[in-house]
A = this chain, B = another copy of it.
């Protein structure tokens, strides 16, 4: 049954793609099956991460980049992730309004996500959705995310090319973040470059790149854009094409895909094992009692964990339940 939906998605049907994304978001039981089925159809898209602090103009840049890509006849998939807005209707609506023209274009697929799930949940779900957009034959898949926190970095591992968007006003705040940004950026964009301080910020970033660890294949460029006026957008895309070519020629694209596959394997194992333990706890009266003692402060969490992990009957039950998965 889900195979039908997958076939429809692969043949380009938008409702099928939406349904599969919803399944992934909910963590349905057949997510593993879906990912397995789509795998042979993935690996072609150029996945681009666009990140930066709130207010830097990421969405406008994504919008204009999408227009540019459409003019070149490329199909685009966009995933906007907002880990900081657990229940935000506002952010989603904002995106929809901004991207209005593209919502009517069947060659552009846009999805917003703002979930606050288990730790690592949003990152794992995002990576799966990016693969789905890839399998749905989008030429370019854009991951746009608010902020530059640890969680977002985790998501960015899934992108081939990462664009870090900054604005001149962010000057001081950026100083403290610079080391982290340098680590993650493949391209820097100083957006709203008509504002005061843009040139200084660009020079400053260029200096930081020069003083940072050197890479003989790729020097992180610092681009200046005015996304709202469509200035610098075509140049940004050209740089991204260059970057992708360097990744391919140097073998790094393949290396990073190998890493993703291995990490995904660990994630699936961890998720399953952890979920199964939570289920076990909810069904086991002894464990329930133990946890009540932990909650009351009668028993230390570490002590209790040791007790659980040295209880062979309990572990046996856990592992039996894993095998039943």
Identify the A interface with B (CB < 8 A).
31-33, 35-36, 39, 53-55, 82-91, 94, 116, 119-120, 122-123, 146-154, 169-170, 172-180, 183, 257-259, 261-262, 264-270, 272-274, 277-278, 291, 294-297, 300-306, 308-310, 312, 315-316, 318-319, 322-323, 325
Contact = CB atoms under 8 A, between A and B. Distances in A.
A284 to B, nearest CB: 13
Given A54-B170, A146-B176, A268-B302, 11 more contacts: A55-B172, A84-B148, A84-B177, A85-B179, A88-B180, A119-B120, A264-B294, A268-B301, A270-B270, A310-B323, A315-B319
B39 A90 contact: no
Give the copy number. 2
A301 B261 contact: yes
A156 B91 CA distance: 22
Contact of A150 (B151, B179, B258, B315): B151
B178 A88 contact: yes
19 contacts: A32-B305, A35-B301, A39-B300, A86-B180, A86-B183, A88-B178, A88-B180, A90-B178, A91-B177, A119-B119, A146-B176, A150-B151, A265-B301, A268-B305, A306-B325, A312-B319, A315-B319, A315-B323, A318-B319
Nearest to A39: B300
Leading 3 A-B pairs by shortest Cβ distance: A149-B149, A54-B173, A32-B302
A291 to B, nearest CB: 6
Contact of A89 (B32, B82, B179): B179
A227 to B, nearest CB: 15
Q: Which of A33, A87, A273, A301 has the most CB of B within 10 A?
A: A301
A35 B302 contact: yes
Given A265-B291, A323-B310, A55 B85 contact: no
A116 B156 CA distance: 14
Given A264-B301, A265-B301, A316-B319, A55 B291 contact: no
A261 B297 CA distance: 7
